[in-house]
Amino acid sequence: MNALEPGQVLIYDTTLRDGTQREGISLSCNDKLRIAQRLDDLGVAYIEGGWPGSNPKDVEFFERLDELDLQNAKIAAFGSTCRVGSAPEEDENLQALLDAGTDVCTIVGKSWTLHVTDVLKTDKEENLRIIEESVAYLKAQGKEVIYDAEHFFDGYFDDADYAMSTLQAAAKGGADSVVLCDTNGGTLPRDMARTVNEVKAALSDEVLLGIHTHNDGECAVANTLVAVEEGAVHVQGTINGYGERCGNANLCSIIPDLELKMGRKTLPEGNLPELYDVAHFVAEVANLAPDEHLAYVGQSAFAHKGGIHVAAMLRNIHSYQHIDPELVGNQMRTVVSELSGRGNLLSKAEDLDIDIEDKALVSEVLQEIKKLEARGFSFEAAEASVAMMMHRQKPGYKPLFELTDYSASVENRQGRGVFAEAMVKVNVEGEVFHTVAEGNGPVNALDAAMRKALSPVYPRINDFQLADYKVRILDGKNGTAATTRVLIDTQNGHQRWSTVGASANIIEASWLALADSIEYGLSLT
């Protein structure tokens, strides 16, 4: 068992087991190993690797643990108490836990009489026996044992005395920690506080008290923090709150809440700024789009859009931020839209390293943005288009190229199938380049024709890659005449930028975004 420092809370990550029960997540063994290493680098105390008796993938994970360079975390193998009517030493599930070779074993048992009688199909005394004897058996093998009291809160509200007796059985067996699980996720913070307080008073101080919450009532993080206030020192959760149904308690919120708001120590000194990268790394490995509106680790967590907010932020950086975003590895962003004021643009110009000497130009750009957004543009995620608007308003601005003509067509020819062709005429300092190119679609063909035309003058364009292309129909009631918004992401190997176009003609919308993208990329130093 870990010796706790004053104010320390042990973080137990169960992303690799509970987190993978989320719909849409399926991690390979290699994925699990990569995430485990990153969690150890972050500095969590425990990493639950999986249930070795349940599937070959988890068996392989434990077999390959020596591939990890662990410096901070203990790996825990998860399982359940022995079966009703059996002895622990004869139980295949407990044997699988021992075979996993970890120093820590976590076992789950029943706390709710409903589960004892209706799920296990046994009586209360037999349930207490299998809890105590399973814990004692693992302890006798030299393991640190964490006991997860499943459905504890439902059980406590139904029969408090029996629910407490299950904890006492685990403690009698020698459990190092007992964890109160809000498995159905429906407990409210007021009931959480009362229950944890009562359990803490009745439980021996020799056993560490833990909390494991689910988010079905949108209270998982709040319930976890309340439990810590009432004496829990072991916290279970997942990165980004991944988990079954509505998810588990989100460690990406809990960790900074505990560290920055409650003064508790959860990670090694200096590791908290790694949190943003870890959240996005796990999302990427899980093949899920990051939720950029998550507290602390979302890109929008410190994004400021309202003009009044940004004006205040320019006077005092703390006026509309509850913490310095760099504390969790994030950064402040200023969003430009029709709701923006002059401060938004000045701040954005500073972010983009654009020097605007004439502040009157800011008002002109702002009015242009509002006019374009009324036509369907959206500049919140298209910072490169904002940058080009500001560049074009500066005195003496000369475009790197001017489009004279373009056309794009899609054909279906017998023996060849569907293909697209585009033609462009581009003026570069008085010289006209007229090129034609093919592509798998009209936008791809336009992109290829532009590259072909401009590469003799600007060879850097060959390094550009169209990384993403998104289309949104803004007013579907107009059918095929609806306004279309196109967002293009471009990268050149080490930088990435986004541009936007909007029109009732999808080709024109695409061209506007593409032209901004190319000119912005060529202007980068």
5 inside domain: no
What confidence category does residue 337 fall into, taking pLDDT thresholds of 50, 70 and 90? very low
Q: Looking at the structure, tell me whether residues 99 and 191 fall in a common domain.
A: yes
298, part of any domain: no
d(CA 189, CA 200): 16
Which tens digits make up the pLDDT trace of 265-304? 999 999 999 999 999 999 989 988 889 899 999 988 887 6
232: in domain: yes
Give residue 498's pLDDT band: very low, low, confident or very high (50, 70, 90): confident
Q: Which of 117, 177, 198, 182 is nearest to 150 (CA)?
A: 182
Q: For residues 432 and 381, state if they share a domain.
A: no
DSSP structure string for 178-212: EEEEETT----HHHHHHHHHHHHHHS-TTSEEEEE
Same domain, 439 and 494: yes
Same domain, 274 and 411: no
Question: How far is residue 524's CA from residue 354's CA, in Å, rounded to a whole number?
Answer: 11
- 412 shares its domain with 457: yes
Residues 219 and 258 in one domain: yes
User: How many independent structural domains does the chain possess?
Assistant: 3
- What's the CATH number where 79 sits? 3.20.20.70
pLDDT band at 413 (very low <50, low <70, confident <90, very high): confident
Coil, strand, or helix at residue 257? Answer: helix
Q: Judge whether 350 lies within some domain.
A: yes
Residue 134 CB partners (closer than 8 Å, separation 6+): 81, 82, 88, 91, 94, 107, 109, 173
**Per-residue pLDDT at 361:** 63
Same structural domain for residues 65 and 209? yes
User: 333, 358, 393 — which closes off a domain?
Assistant: 393
Is 296 part of any domain?
no
Please state, in angstroms and rounded to a whole number, the distance separating the CA atoms of residues 68 and 101.
Answer: 14
- Looking at residue 108, what is its pLDDT? 98
| 3-class SS of residue 525 | coil
pLDDT of residue 272: 98
Alpha carbon 480 to its chain centroid, in Å, reads: 36
Position 412 in a domain: yes
Q: Which residues pair with 202 in a beta bridge?
A: none
User: Is residue 162 in some structural domain?
Assistant: yes
Residues 168-180 pLDDT 10s? 999 999 999 999 9
| pLDDT score for 383 | 79
Task: Please indicate, yes or no, whether residues 468 and 430 belong to a single structural domain of this protein.
Answer: yes
Token pair for 379: 């500049």
Residue whose entry in the numeric block shows the structure tokens 């249930």: 51
* pLDDT tens profile 128-161: 999 999 999 999 999 999 999 999 999 999 999 9
| 123 in the same domain as 51 | yes
Interacting residues of 227 by C-beta distance below 8 A, sequence separation 6+: 180, 192, 193, 196, 211, 213, 235
Cα 314 to the chain's mean position, in Å? 29
Tell me which of 374, 393, 412 is where a domain ends.
393
Residues 70 and 141 in one domain: yes
Q: Is residue 297 in a domain? A: no
Give the model's confidence band at 419: pLDDT under 50 very low, under 70 low, under 90 confident, else very high: confident
User: Which domain CATH number covers 452?
Assistant: 3.30.160.270
Domain boundary residue among 285, 320, 343?
285
**Is the pLDDT score of 494 beyond 80?**
no
* Residues 379 and 406 reside in one and the same domain: no
Residue 140 CB partners (closer than 8 Å, separation 6+): none
Same domain, 242 and 385: no
Contact 501, 377 (CB under 8 A): yes
Domain hosting 482: range is: 402-523
* Per-residue tokens: 61: 């994970």
The 10s digit of each residue's pLDDT in 339-356 is 444 455 555 555 555 555
What's residue 338's pLDDT? Answer: 45
